[in-house]
Chain A
Amino acid sequence: MKENKSTPGGLVLRGITLSYIALLIVLPVIAISCKAFDGGIARLWQEISLPQALFSLKITLILALIIAIVNVITGTATAWVLVRCDFPLKREINAIIDLPFAIPTIVTGIMLVALYGPRSFIGAFMQNKFNIEIIYNSPGILIALLFVTFPFVVRCVQPVLQEMEKEIEEAAMTLGASPFQIFTKVIMPTLFPSVVTGAALSFSRALGEFGSVVIVAGNIPFKTQVAAVYVYGEIESSNVPGATGVSFILLVCSFAVLLLLNFIQYWNRRHEER
């Protein structure tokens, strides 16, 4: 594609925009990465090896993984129902799916405390009957994370499912495939890239979630302190090395996921040339 002569600016345009990006996006990331290595690799390793830090990273990764897996199942099922089934209020329910995207994370936290907190109907019930604490405990975090990551897989899979020609399934049917075989051999392979994309986005989001978790889970070290909350704690106590260390690890994980996503997009384009 040649440069379009009808767009004003040209090089000036490119210069200004790229400077903006460099200043706003690239530089801050470089800055924090460098800061993480301020005391050398040894210092970095020391900080992230602290039991509290390690725990926060471990619990964050495990939770994010669980979230991604659960979302793959619920998200794909939801997309399926939205595309293939008809029911009253379908348009409204389709709109509701985006609610977690539109609502501030801290409002999510407040809502969940109001609903499942110790003074609420459900919270008190669960506490007395099953001795399960929802808020200030892992169940609460899971619910919060499930809420904020819910739309990702759905919205990734939905358009692909919609675009799928009915004829493909009919062809498989005339060739003798059972409904199960059609799903596993024809539908799933087609959906696979979008499912993985959605899962990766869920994972990435769950990794860094703060606003809802800080309300719902509190900040109990070794119990409910996820990595983002740990970093926040370290910033508040002005422990820069501690904060940068764990931040760096989180960034590395997130970027790995980002790379995976871009790779999937690229690989997918190979199959969709025409």
Chain B
Amino acid sequence: MGISIQNVSKRFGDFIAVDGVSFEVQTGELVALLGPSGCGKSTLLRVIAGLETPDAGAVIFNGVNMNAMSARQRRVGFVFQHYALFKHMTAEQNIAFALNVQKRGKKEIAERVGHLIDLVKMRGYAGHYPSQLSGGQRQRVALARALAAEPAMLLLDEPFSALDLKVRESLVGWLRNMHDKLNVTSIFVTHDQNEAMEISDKIIVINKGRVEQIGAARDVYEEPSNKFVASFIGNINIIDAHLEGEAIFVHGTQAKLHRPAGYDAPSGDIVLLVRPEDIGLQHVAEGPHAIPAVVTGIRYKGSVTEVDLQLTDFSLTALEFSKYIWTVGEKVFVNFKKYNVFAVGDSHHAIRRQLEQLGYIE
């Protein structure tokens, strides 16, 4: 079932939670709604489910406008952040709930429930109460319960946030497998970009109730359409620079970089956004535009080493994959293998402040 969200807005009193959001989801896609806490993604999900009514805009399933339909009528499977399992029912009874409500035959229910229990690998725990299950098990019961009624669409609200790291890691991949097996259109909400990038077909980045960018994981990571997306997804270094014609001058250095193809803005102050893994480190200068730097911090993380660098006017963090052992105080030369350029603009400082407050940048 294809979903079309058209210009949906929702406010709570003075607070605008969702502000004119539009996007499309193709049948069978697994889409992530990604954004920081409080950005309106959960509200948006609830609007799609029919648990909230939008103030403006339309939610369309397969060409049919759903605005007038209640949550009950929309045939949406919803998995809540804290599972919302019925505590007085066993896992089995929870899963059977939708079928009981529809008054299906006993045999049919037993068959379907059994099938789902095997699907989520809860055989042996079917008679347990939620209080007797672990977080990961409750999660799987919640999913099975939502799937029991064969919904046309699956909505998941931060399904992994309440779980331990290891459990989370295994369940994320499991969700993707489940999705591939059942091929049901799914939208899941998360603030964890790793989850979003790992399993989704498409990521919709949301901030302050608005869509920032829509694209596959690679697109969103490599070609962020604005500074927020660049800073929110993955780690980023932000460098002040000046664009003069075809050349970019990095403040405080002798570096001269090329204006990237496709960037059409006129000369002026700009910001360079460079991913840590796109910073190359050399022991000797290569060319007149090599940038000298001093190593100020080293964090060995097994497969990579994070290296803090101090340049004349600013600092950088680079990701090094070679097994070279760095020392603090060592002199090194820096070059940028890839970078994105943005105009400074009014929102620059506001975005920086927001990201600092969220703890995404120093």
Contacts and interface: CB of A to CB of B under 8 A. Distances in A.
Interface of A: 165, 167-168, 170-178, 181, 185-186, 189-190, 271-274
B84 A177 contact: no
A181 B86 CA distance: 14
Interface residues of B, number: 32
B283 interface: no
A118 to B, nearest CB: 51
B125 interface: no
A273 B146 contact: no
- Going nearest first, the 7 A-B pairs with the smallest beta carbon separation are A167-B84, A175-B98, A171-B84, A273-B131, A174-B78, A189-B88, A177-B101
A176 B84 contact: no
Given A176-B149, A271-B131, A273-B132, A165 B84 contact: yes
Given A176-B72, A178-B72, 5 more contacts: A168-B86, A173-B71, A174-B76, A176-B101, A177-B101
Given A177-B72, A273-B131, A170 B78 contact: yes
B44 to A, nearest CB: 16
Interface in B48-93: 49-51, 70-72, 74-78, 80-82, 84-89
Contact of B101 (A181, A271, A272, A274): A181
A228 B80 CA distance: 53
Nearest to A181: B101
B322 interface: no
Contacts of A172: 86, 97, 101
B159 to A, nearest CB: 13
B357 interface: no
Contacts of B77: 174
7 contacts: A167-B84, A170-B51, A170-B78, A170-B80, A172-B101, A174-B72, A175-B146
A219 to B, nearest CB: 47
Contacts of A178: 72, 101
Nearest to B134: A274
B149 to A, nearest CB: 6
**Which of A171, A178, A189 has the largest count of B CB atoms less than 10 A from its CB?**
A171
Contact of A186 (B81, B86, B132): B86
A99 to B, nearest CB: 33
A193 to B, nearest CB: 9
Interface in B129-178: 129, 131-132, 145-146, 148-149
B146 to A, nearest CB: 7
Given A174-B77, A176-B72, A190 B87 contact: yes
B303 interface: no
Contact of A170 (B74, B84, B149): B84
A174 B131 contact: no
A272 B84 contact: no
Given A175-B101, A177-B101, A272 B87 contact: yes
A185 B89 CA distance: 10
A42 B129 CA distance: 51
Contacts of B84: 165, 167-168, 170-171
B131 A167 contact: no
Nearest to B142: A171
A11 B98 CA distance: 57
A268 to B, nearest CB: 10
A271 B88 contact: yes
A271 B82 CA distance: 17
B26 to A, nearest CB: 22
Contacts of A189: 86, 88-89
B127 to A, nearest CB: 14
A170 B71 contact: yes
B146 A174 contact: yes
Contacts of A165: 82, 84
Contacts of B98: 175-176
Nearest to B131: A273
A175 B150 CA distance: 10
B307 to A, nearest CB: 44
Nearest to A189: B88
